[in-house]
Structure 1
Amino acid sequence: MDGRVGVVLVSHSAALAAGLGELLARLGGAAVTVVPAAGTAEGGLGTSYELIARAVRAADGGAGVVLLADLGSSVLTARTVLADHPDEDLVLADAPLVEGAVAAVVTASTGAALAEVVAAAEQARGFRKF
């Protein structure tokens, strides 16, 4: 496979995803494609099947895509997209959005494989702040 693992940020808030994307761009540089799928198509709070599906296509550089979601319905909507488009190279990580995304992007920036990127994101669940 060519490219690096891409990351999709599934959030209820476009502003939240944009801010996190800004942070991730500094951490992963241009090496990792990070695409937000946040808010509704009309610009409100919520989640959108179409925005998630489009973001998955945009983030796919050939090495797989990890999705990270913020809350309940974003997880359900992302799961629906993945169920409708089954592909072993698309994974919804069971991870906190911010910490998981940071771990995923840093790991993906090294050229790590999809399984390693997912594992890094999911291990972020146990990160302690102090």
Structure 2
Amino acid sequence: MGIPGVVKGLTKALSEYGSLSREDVMGPAINLAEKGHILIAGEAIRQSFVNEQLREFEGSRKHFLNADGSPMPPGKLFVQNDLAKVLQPISDEGEEVFYKGWIAEKIVEDKGAQWWCLTMKALAEYKGHGCENF
């Protein structure tokens, strides 16, 4: 497990090459996470194939499985309020909230004991790999 780099990479790409604001780019994803979408058959099947792995962690059980631990069926409304609660501050404030703010604190609290590299210091100092190649 390494430092999550997607937020840094995507915000850097947007700031250097994009013509839209973070709010315009992230708004549709936040809206979709809040309102949900119908789980299509292919995604439901994929989730059923990784059901055992999804059961391993409380977070993945909570977000991707039914209360009884079974995979979500096709046609179910899939809402991701917790994802929206993370995306909205990134949209409003930028990557700093992810790497140095309350989101970083939550990541360290949740995963830091399992993966030694996930510390507040490591997150705050993360530079990203390959970002210089943008």
TM bin (shorter chain): under 0.3
Structure of higher CA gyration radius = 2
TM-score (norm 2): 0.26
Structure ranking higher in helix proportion: 2
Structure ranking higher in strand proportion: 1
